[in-house]
Chain A
Amino acid sequence: GDKVKQSPSALSLQEGTNSALRCNFSIAATTVQWFLQNPRGSLMNLFYLVPGTKENGRLKSAFDSKESYSTLHIRDAQLEDSGTYFCAAEGGGRALIFGTGTTVSVSP
């Protein structure tokens, strides 16, 4: 089954708006990472999280290990935020398990 479930699968945003992406885990995740894959296919690491929150510019992410979920908030969306966002969870030192991604399209 899906050990890392992402929602929504796709999201259309207008420039300047805010939104949230979510991952639910069915494994005992100890750390979470969020990535953005640009249209050329490159995967860029956005956040590495232990339980808690982090913020970087217009992006903010939270990881709650007890409730087994993580969120990524996009504030004041810009065109360059378009791409596919992946969350990935690790438990017990095993390799990261990736979600199926959320494709975000930001329009003017």
Chain B
Amino acid sequence: NAGVIQTPRHKVTGKGQEATLWCEPISGHSAVFWYRQTIVQGLEFLTYFRNQAPIDDSGMPKERFSAQMPNQSHSTLKIQSTQPQDSAVYLCASSLAGSQNTLYFGAGTRLSVL
């Protein structure tokens, strides 16, 4: 079991460019979560899928951010027209069935917007 895999580990983009972050959940897990971590805001919830369907995207910024889960083996978080304030560590987690099960986190993608 390789755990939750996130790629890339580091991404540097210029202001205004697009960034796509990838997450591969643990095999057999049906729930995938995206969080963002910064020094100032701490760990912020972004969005949550169960069985590939979006369940809660209440933490997603309404503009420029989107997430998808096209199949059970991966999810993507896309940020359009990146801004310096999007710089953060983006963390993906998976669990067997939802937030009422143990969450396992990936190592994160550190996004730096110059």
Contacts and interface: CB of A to CB of B under 8 A. Distances in A.
Nearest to B3: A42
B45 A90 contact: no
Interface string A91-107: 00111111111000000
A86 interface: yes
Contact of B99 (A42, A44, A93): A93
A98 B42 contact: yes
A43 interface: yes
Most B-side CB within 10 Å, residue of A41, A42, A43, A93: A43
A45 B102 contact: yes
A93 B42 CA distance: 22
Interface stretch (B15-23, B65-73, B104-112): B104-112
Contacts of B100: 30-31, 90, 93
A40 B93 CA distance: 17
A94 B56 contact: yes
Interface residues of B, number: 21
B101 A48 contact: yes
A24 interface: no
A98 B35 CA distance: 10
A57 B30 CA distance: 30
Given A86-B43, A90-B100, A98-B42, A43 B48 contact: no
Interface string A65-92: 0000000000000000000001010100
A44 B106 CA distance: 9
Interface in B81-101: 89, 91, 93, 98-101
Interface in B44-86: 45, 48, 56, 59
Interface of A: 30-31, 33, 35, 40-45, 48, 86, 88, 90, 93-101
